[in-house]
Every structure is written in C-alpha cells, then in structure tokens.
Structure 1
Amino acid sequence: MKHLRNYSFALIAFALLFNACSKDDDNNITPDDPNAIASSRLDFIEVNGHPHGDHFHDLAEIEGERESISITFDNQGVAQNGHTHLDPHKIYRIQLHVFNNEGREIQDDFLASKAVADLYKSFIVGGNFVLNPNTNGAENGALFQPREQTYGDGNAVNGKYETTGILAYFTLGEANEGAEADVSYVLRKLSDATTKAKIERTDWNHDDYASRFAGEDVLKLTFEIHAEGHDH
C-alpha cells in the first residue's frame, strides 16, 4: 500500500510539472511568430521639428490641437483604412502597435534588450520619394528616422545604428508634394545581428531592401500615401 501511495504521489507530481511546462511553452511565443500577431496599427502624430540632412532637429510634442492619423491592419498586413493624406510640410511621430490574439500589445517585445533589438529594423518602401539629403537645401525631402531612446530592460539605445523604428519620425517634405504612392512599413528580422550596424539612415526606402539586408519580414503593412494636407 505504501508503494502504491508513493506511486500515486509521483504521478500527481509529474502531471503538475507537465502542466507547468506546457503553460511556460504557451507563453514562450516569440513576437515575430506569425501566429502571435492578430492585428497592427500605425499612428501618425504631428510634432514640431526641423529636417536636417538625414535626421531631425528640435523634435517636440505639440500642445493642444494637432493632426493625428491611425491606420489599422489585419493579420496579413492589409490596411482597413488605407488611403492616407499626409501634409508634406508636417513632421509626424510614427508609433507601431502590434496586437496578439489575446489583444495584448507586443511591439515592445522587439525592443526587450539590445540583444533582441539587434535583429530588427524598420523600413518604409515603395514610395520612390526624393530624400531630404538629396534636395541640396532648396526644399525639404522625405526623411524617416527611427528614434527609440531606451530598451525594455532600461538600458539606453546608443546612436543611430541601434535604433529600430518601432518609434520613428517621418516627413514627406515639399519636394514630394502631390505624390501618391502605395508604400509598405516593413519590420524585418535580420539574419545576422551584425547587419543592423551597416544600415544607414538613408537606407529606409530601398525597394531592394530584402536583397541588401538578408532576413525575413515580420510585418509588411501596406497603405496608400497622398502627399497633401487635409485643406486641399
């Protein structure tokens, strides 16, 4: 009887351990697992600032009334409200939101630490825009600047090569006024952690980004940009 009781206790302990491990496995879903992403959203929030070469100066939030646009996407990256007017004279803060099947936001998982973030980089491709560094100062062109400040573990994001683009700043610039284009915001998982340090600020809109920077797209969110203000 004593042996039977011990055997029963052993079975119960094994069952509890198995269930605990199963729950741990369920929670151990990487953020780029296609099955983990149910929907996404891009928020464009107007801010103050000045384009300068391949980056912005004096970025600051606007108090009071400001332009705010949100684009929602299904789990295939298809926009639910895809025709978007952006004023080419304005600068926008872009914030990516990614939701799993439980409705939890998981975009910060890509920035959990430097070791994690080193594998990810964002691009906006398909627009064939005139870039700001190529306008020779006559007028402003397009500029996309990833600009995270800290990782999820609290450590600082140091320098332009470490930024990812979950948080970024964007302008079309008057050089692209009137442009219409189908563009894709891409979050790419790089094949090698050393690749990110080779991606320059002006590499954000190369249509051949996939061959330039080996890896796979975690998200590809496609929408139409029309470079005109709402008063047109």
Structure 2
Amino acid sequence: MKKYCYAFTAIALFLTACSKDDEKVAPEDPNVISSSRLDFIEVNGSAHGDHFHDLAEKTGEKDSIAILFNAQGETQNGHLHLDPHKVYRIQLRVFNKAGHELQQGFLQNKTVADSFKVFLTGGNFVLNPTTGDAENGAIFQPREQVYGDGTSIGGKYETTGILAYFTLGEANSGAEADISYVLRKFTDPATKAKIERTDWNYLDYATRYAGTDILKLTFEVHAEEHE
C-alpha cells in the first residue's frame, strides 16, 4: 500500500509540475503556439489625430468578425470587409495545443512587454493625422491598460497592441489590401519607447526595428460601407 501511495503521490506531483511549467513557457516559443485568432468588434469612438476619443462598447447590433489562423499564420477565412466609417476593437488570442490562451504572457509585466510591439503593415493607408480637419484617415491604436502583475500601463509608448482599436476612415474607402498583423520582438527593448502611434503602417518595419516576428497574421481587407 505504501508503494502505491508513493507512486500516486509522485504522479500527482509530476502532473502539477508539468502544469506549472506549461504556464511558465514563453508564449513567443514557436513550438508552443498552435493557433491564433483576431477578433474585430465594432465599438463607439471618434477619431482625433493619431488616437481615439470616447471609446466605449456598443450595445445592440454591431459588426463582429473573427479570423482564425494556424500555427504558421495561415488563414482560410481571411477576407475581411470593414466599414471605413466604423471603429473596431481588435483582440489577439493565441492558443497552445491544449486550447489554453497565451496572449497575456506578452504582457506579464513591463520588463516582458517592453520587448514586444504590434504593427499592422501592408495597407499603405492614408493616416488620420495627414487628413487635417477632415479627420477621416486610418488609426491603429494599441490600448492595453494594465500589465499582468496589476500595474498600470503608462501611456502610448508602453502599449503593445494585443488589444487595439482600428478604423480605416473614409479616406481609405474602397481600398483593398493584404495586410499583416505582426507581433514583433525587439533585439533591444529600448526600441519600443521610440515608436510613435503613426509608426504602425511601415512596409519596412523589419529594417527600422531590429528583431524577430513572433506572429505574422496576413489577411485581405476590403473597405466598404455595410448596407
């Protein structure tokens, strides 16, 4: 009986240790990520320069679109129709083989998050700050509020883009483009503090900001009004 008890205890401890080790695995490890998802959910908000004012959840009927990606960042349903007049909340979700979500691992604390930033590249969009009083260009605004350890995220230079808000704007109405949601890990964490809100759209982001793409999720966007 003692032998059985010892064996049972050893197995229980082993499984507990494995579970804890799994939680500690760095989510950027390509062997851990099994699939990803981008959720686009319509919200209320208004454009102002390089950011939004009065962001709030929208009640009642609203656009809600999910794009699924495999471990290689490939998608089978990646043709996305977005109303250029609307504002969308974008949420990244990353899953391991067991279906557990990993995306918060990139925001564990400031030290970890300083190495990561999201870019939305490939669209060559007209950006909102260039449209003057019209305020009808594109905005992509990362907007996390709190790190995983409970401390506040201090402004635009600390945000990452795991949670972000996006509009195409009327100036991009009719645009069609293959764009990529890129989560990049910088070689030097000090790089993040130099990135402005209007730096999300560069085609040459990889040469501007040394590092490695942890995720590159490519999909087609068509800007058109919804009837």
TM-score for the superposition, normalised by structure 1:
0.89
How many matched pairs? 217
Is 2:194 aligned against 1:198?
yes
Q: Deviations over 1:82-130 (max 9, x none)?
A: 1100000000000000001110000011001111101100000000000
Runs of 4+ displaced beyond 3 Å: 18-28
Is 2:159 aligned against 1:163?
yes
Computing the radius of gyration over CA atoms, which structure comes out larger, 1 or 2? 1
Q: Deviations over 1:26-49 (max 9, x none)?
A: 554210000110110000110111
Measured in 1, the distance between the counterparts of 2:104 and 2:193 equals 20
Measured in 2, the distance between the counterparts of 1:26 and 1:225 equals 35
Decide whether the 8 Å contact of 1:74 with 1:80 is kept in 2. no
The amino acid across from 1:161 in the alignment is Y
Measured in 2, the distance between the counterparts of 1:164 and 1:222 equals 18
1:129 to 107, 110, 125: 125
2:150 to 143, 148, 154: 154
The amino acid across from 2:173 in the alignment is E
The amino acid across from 2:205 in the alignment is Y
Is 2:86 aligned against 1:115?
no
Q: Which residue of 2 aligns with 1:30?
A: 26
1:210 to 183, 202, 206: 206
Q: For the aligned residues, what is the CA RMSD?
A: 1.9
Measured in 1, the distance between the counterparts of 2:135 and 2:152 equals 34
Identity %: 68
Shift of 1:77: 0.5
Measured in 2, the distance between the counterparts of 1:124 and 1:32 equals 18
Unaligned runs of 5+ in 2: 1-6
CA 1:139–1:155: 2 relative to 1, 3 Å: closer
1:66 to 59, 62, 68: 62
Decide whether the 8 Å contact of 1:187 with 1:219 is kept in 2. yes
The amino acid across from 1:97 in the alignment is R
Q: Which residue of 2 aligns with 1:82?
A: 78
Shift of 1:25: 5.2
Unaligned runs of 5+ in 1: 1-11
TM-score for the superposition, normalised by structure 2:
0.91
Measured in 1, the distance between the counterparts of 2:198 and 2:156 equals 11
Q: Deviations over 1:170-192 (max 9, x none)?
A: 00000000000000000001111
CA 1:72–1:172: 2 relative to 1, 3 Å: same
